[in-house]
A and B are shown apart, each in its own frame.
Chain A
């Protein structure tokens, strides 16, 4: 176990280091400086700015400085605001993103599991077919299309929920639904497949023979085992949440990481782009590791490499 963990940790560090270097050098290749839009700057001002941000030093020196600062948790200074650290920007916009992501994954997996259980129990009936249909829609329709339509029909036409911004619980409804569609679809598909398999096993037959109610059988006996493989899709789900957050935060005007990232791309704010990229990458790598570890913990039948024999 310790060997496995160390190995995984080394890979994690290598991956993050590669991503950090990749973002750094890619940002260096991009033609133009961040100040190319600010035409009003005089030559002297420009050279002061370039000097201040260390842009006049040779690239290897900049790279070394960047990596050193990175270790200290300093992601540099944003170009778009005066002297605001990227770390501060990220910390400030982390709240809405984390809330939205957590809500979406809770809401999505909860209803996904319910949908999956119901369609497994009512296999090959109209209930099953309609939940399959919902799952196919949820998996296929791009989140930004769905979010746009939700915003227009539920927000504007019906006026049930606020159309945009992030000012209270009612503002969270539409973005959460839009972001939760993919987790919902994925979870329901997985739970359905697993439930069908589990329902055929001997211990379910025993529970039935004992006279347990269907509710008890479904939720107490079957679901517990059916849920194990769902943990494996948590990785892809987090990725989908990250992708989704970029567009959904843009559509609904939520001041989160995703919106910040998209904004930075359009105005060439390299430090923020690099910072958010690293954050996304770190999140991704950590989630994958947690999922792999969880999998071994939840299901005693699976032992990670190097585990007890």
Chain B
């Protein structure tokens, strides 16, 4: 047998060093470094983050890039399709200023109306530049969403933390309130609130937050209930730390993951609701624009000038998709369940 030919000298005794068996070979990472490593692996989330940053930058600087104001009307230049210098020469791109009639004829709207201007994304039925309005609208939509998410976060975290931390009768009472609030579909509350208050940026935000915080409060309460019985909280208490300090120094940092995940899901939800309200006629009033009002306006002329709806529709879909992808990625990276 060939195995027998292996010489004894080829074997070396393995060194057993008790001090090295527990050596940590990789650098130790804290929660956030670890989470970042996991997010980085999720390509969809990273791409979405980049797109969101670009969209946010465009929402801020976009309206300044053109020479047109957001409510500057030019009736002579109404309903012009997108036309962009240089790109108009590329025939397969829809930036050549051409429109299709219902019978299939293709004509250049700019030549027909003798317009020399370039409207990058066209104009609407009042001759307002869509590029300017689109980014202004994105800005308003994002503003409403961030504001609503921030308010939800503050109320939800406070309510949930107090309810969970104090416990006892307070908790019982506060939970009964949330139980009833959860039973009310927020769609109805939002619509009713908007009917009562006139639609505006602030009233839409308030309407969104009235029941919006309940989800956050419940998650936070559950987390706090679990965390407050852990040994490090007991240790902190034994060392004489006040309740406020325990909440701010020990509980809140451990809740950060849950808070971030929840907020990331609130933002697309708020954007959706704002657009939804505009679509059923309860949105912002002109000259204000949001993605919802732009889609609503575009929808009215969809058959003749489809670009007027498609452009804001693409932006809102992109925002929603990216927020959902980032939120999913963050949940996978930060989910406390996976770390317990």
Where the two chains meet, the residues of A that have a C-beta atom closer than 8 Å to any C-beta of B are: 11-12, 14-15, 18-19, 22-23, 26, 29-30, 136-137, 139-142, 144-145, 148-149, 151-152, 156, 239, 242-243, 246-247, 250-251, 262, 265-266, 273, 277, 280-281, 284-285, 288
Q: Which residue of B lies closest to A18 (CB)?
A: B180
**Which residues of the other chain, A, contact B281 by a CB distance below 8 angstroms?**
262, 265-266
Neighbouring B residues of A29 by C-beta, 8 Å: 196
Contact of A12 among B183, B191, B324 (CB under 8 A): B183
**In whole Å, how far is A186's beta carbon from the nearest beta carbon of chain B?**
12
Residues in A neighbouring B280, C-beta threshold 8 A:
246-247, 250, 262, 265
Pairwise interchain contact A26-B196, C-beta atoms closer than 8 A: yes
Q: Which of B180, B299, B302, B316 counts the most A-chain CB atoms under 10 A from its CB? A: B299
Chain A residues near B222: list those with CB within 8 A: none
CA distance A301 to B324 in the complex (A): 32
Across the interface, name the chain B residue whose C-beta is closest to A242. Answer: B187
Q: Does B310 contact A (CB under 8 A)?
A: yes
B residues less than 8 Å from A30 (CB atoms): 195-196
Between-chain CB contacts (< 8 Å), 22 pairs = A12-B183, A15-B180, A18-B184, A19-B188, A22-B192, A136-B324, A140-B317, A140-B323, A142-B320, A144-B279, A148-B309, A152-B302, A242-B187, A250-B280, A265-B191, A265-B281, A266-B281, A277-B192, A281-B184, A281-B185, A284-B184, A284-B185
State whether B195 touches A265 (Cβ < 8 A). yes
Query: Is B118 in contact with chain A by the CB < 8 A criterion?
Result: no
Query: Is B201 in the interface zone, CB < 8 Å from A?
Result: no
Interface residue SS majority, chain A: helix
- Interchain CB contact under 8 A, B317 and A26: no
**Are B185 and A280 in contact, CB atoms less than 8 angstroms apart?**
yes
What residue of chain A has the Cβ atom nearest to residue B48's Cβ? A136
Of B179, B183, B192, B324, the residue contacting A139 (CB under 8 A) is B324
* Minimum distance in angstroms from A93 CB to a CB of chain B: 16
Which residues of the partner chain B approach A18 to less than 8 Å between Cβ atoms? 180, 184
Residues of A within 8 A of B316 (CB): 142, 145
A137 / chain B contacts, CB cutoff of 8 Å: 317, 321
Q: How far is the CB of A10 from the nearest CB of chain B, in Å?
A: 11
Minimum-distance CB pairs A-B, first 10: A15-B183, A140-B320, A140-B321, A284-B185, A145-B313, A141-B317, A262-B280, A26-B196, A140-B324, A144-B279
Contact of A26 among B183, B195, B295, B306 (CB under 8 A): B195
